[in-house]
Amino acid sequence: MIKKSFITDCEGPLSLNDNAYEICREFIPDGAEFFKVVSNFDDYLVFAHHENYDAGDTLKLIAPFLKAYGITNKKIFDFSRKNISLVNGASKTMEFAKKNVTSYIISTSYGQYIEALSNEINFPYENTFYSLLNLDEYKIDNDEKDTLISFKDDVINADFLRCKEIFFNEIPKLDSYKLTENTKTVGGLGKKIAIDKIISKENLNIQGMMYIGDSITDVEALHFLRENNGFTISFNGNNFSLNEAEIAVISDDTIVNSILLDLFERYNKNYCLEFIKTYSYDPQKAFESSRISFSLMDKFREIFKDRELPIIQTINASNFNFLAEKSKQMREKIRGKDVADLS
């Protein structure tokens, strides 16, 4: 039997946070609006295939501004530790995964947040990939701080061309640009590279890999695994992840992911697809005809007693718009509209 593994993004499939957004909102005046503008700028750059730019590099662009407002590595860790908000069931799903298969988290989030979250859910930090930010390594003088603060105010009201001027012409002239250059993000292609490293380290067969993502930073990982017959899931995902994943899960509890992992680990992807096919039109029959562990089945029934059941469907052209709308509604319901709208 093929050795199985479980790999998941963090923000979305495990936590309700957008940690970088929350850091900006907490420590930078008008930081929420600033982050939204930079995040939209990030999307434009990805669509335009800007040279040497990857999805999630928002976290590189904001790094000098974090320094300008006196944020430190410890402040990020402490803030993250106190503000972790998990999707219902996430800790139990990761405990189940850790116990039964080789498990990893691949996240674009800063390492300080991933360390705090790993501590929270008792997951091995060494089995995580994350964006590397070291604010304490650099110093900037007061004049440069004032310049960056002025740029921040400018960015909030800027159009695409002005943002491009600030981030690619003006900030590279500053000493703090070293922070941008040396912040190593894990998004887009970086997540695919992380998967390559896991395959090499653990000697894994791609067909034995289950991957859960939800955003634009998961596109390359989902595409790579789906093209090579891995098991790919968009969990409350936006259109970017729905376009690349094979399965859509829309739920406010990760018990669904635990069930799919249980079937995938004990059987295979095809068995999971048969379960999903039946579930999509008759959930009761799917549970009766599939060899789901009794403990997971009982837990699922307890959680969703007298409630609308989660959506679990294979993604295709005929149901894509339906899944996109339902997924958007669930993202907004459990994460809030501001975070849900970030890619």
Confirm if 38 and 56 have CB atoms less than 8 A apart.
no
The helix/strand/coil state of 11 is strand
Specify the pLDDT at position 67.
97
Q: Residue 310 contacts by C-beta under 8 Å, 6 or more apart in sequence?
A: 249, 250, 251, 252, 253, 256, 304
Sole residue written with tokens 């399965």: 247
Specify the pLDDT at position 23.
97
Supply φ then ψ for residue 169, to 5 degrees: -120, -45
Closest by CA to 216, choosing from 96, 45, 334, 65, is 45
Return d(Cα 202, Cα 197) in angstroms, integer: 8
Return d(Cα 78, Cα 8) in angstroms, integer: 24
Return d(Cα 286, Cα 200) in angstroms, integer: 36
Specify the pLDDT at position 51.
79
Return d(Cα 234, Cα 222) in angstroms, integer: 9
Q: What is the pTM of this model?
A: 0.96
* Residue 208 DSSP symbol: G
Return d(Cα 191, Cα 217) in angstroms, integer: 8
Return d(Cα 212, Cα 221) in angstroms, integer: 9
Specify the pLDDT at position 166.
96
Residue 301 Cα to chain centre, angstroms: 27
Closest by CA to 257, choosing from 52, 50, 100, 30, is 100
Specify the pLDDT at position 255.
98
**Mean per-residue pLDDT pooled into runs of 10, the chain (343 residues):** 94 97 97 94 83 86 97 98 98 97 97 98 98 95 96 93 94 95 94 97 96 95 97 96 98 98 96 97 94 94 95 98 97 88 68
Specify the pLDDT at position 192.
96
Closest by CA to 86, choosing from 118, 39, 131, 124, is 118
What structural domains does the chain harbor?
Answer: 5-10+188-340 (3.40.50), 19-86+110-117+131-182 (1.10.3870.10)
Q: Residue 215 contacts by C-beta under 8 Å, 6 or more apart in sequence?
A: 9, 11, 12, 237, 238, 240, 241, 342, 343
